[in-house]
Chain A
């Protein structure tokens, strides 16, 4: 068993059970979409890098995200994913609070039309608190690092395609995460693949069902990158969400998701339901 080969991700990814969308569509020039939401997670079942489930002190993570996309024209769009505030806490510790890692994505429409295909490049900057420390409230002098960012620079490359079917749509994507180093220690690269199915239930209400698989590549060389830095994380995740448009500008969204044994074993990950609620704004 290896509790530590992962955890960054326990800390950085547990809330990602409410999954980010990936599609082949690229925002048209001058149009914009912004979503601000809170994601909440609490769990005590942790799968270590040896895929063994451990019961730990309950761990809570709450994150305030702001996601925005803007059409730049020339088949390009800019997307920003900003975890502005992240709260990590074990039941035995004080909270560790800080901003997360900022991801800035350039998305390009390779193909347009009925089956659009897009390519996105997204550097993720180590803007989070990589050494955020939480004090143990029961034992003086004891504590644990609960970083709000993994401390490394990495680049996501995503290829996505979509297709409309009347009032429904479907998307699929594949992605590669080129990870670098933290304090001289190399992370394992990651791959992802996923699909999304959604559509309009009523003229103002949308649903979205997402599924995603993530795997880390190669053997781990640095156990110290595990528990608090998110190396080796693997999972199959799914989520269900709804988006209600009050008008052409404002809307609200809710989503629930989780991880489960699927195409890959659960590794270096807290497993419990996570929930998100937010507001949306559009410029059309």
Chain B
């Protein structure tokens, strides 16, 4: 019985160290620290989708660029998911043969409310609009002009 006491002591010491160590998980898809807005605009609905809410382009404390949808953001999710693009105009202008220079696909949204989309690499000032797009049917759901 004497021989196992040191092992108990060592086990208790390790537990104590673990308890003191705070685990930090960094989610690169979310802004770190304060999110500073550089440009923003409100959604204009298209095709009766009821799209509305604010879109904000900005950076976090790490210098990473993000697009944020505000709490009041909504669109029509009855058809499924909706893709989110940065665009150089309010019109969806694909040009796949040349790498779609007028569009940047940021991701897919499935629900209303606040959400962030990482913009990496950061988009230049020529990307002036956010477009909500039903990619399966190729139908616009709305756009926001970033100013």
Contact = CB atoms under 8 A, between A and B. Distances in A.
Contacts of A111: none
Contact of B136 (A2, A54, A93, A223): A93
Interface residues of B, number: 20
Interface stretch (B29-37, B74-82, B114-122): B74-82
A139 B108 contact: yes
Contacts of A229: 78
10 contacts: A2-B48, A3-B137, A46-B137, A54-B139, A57-B138, A136-B136, A142-B81, A223-B48, A227-B78, A227-B79
B89 interface: no
B85 to A, nearest CB: 11
A224 B78 contact: yes
B86 to A, nearest CB: 15
A2 B47 contact: yes
Interface in A210-261: 223-229
Contacts of A279: none
Contact of B78 (A49, A90, A93, A145): A145
Interface residues of A, number: 35
Interface string B73-103: 0001011110100000000000000000000
Contacts of B105: 139
Contacts of A139: 83, 105, 108, 135
B47 A90 contact: no
B139 A56 contact: yes
A50 B48 contact: yes
Nearest to A48: B47
Given A4-B79, A144-B80, A226 B136 contact: no
A273 B9 CA distance: 82
B132 to A, nearest CB: 12
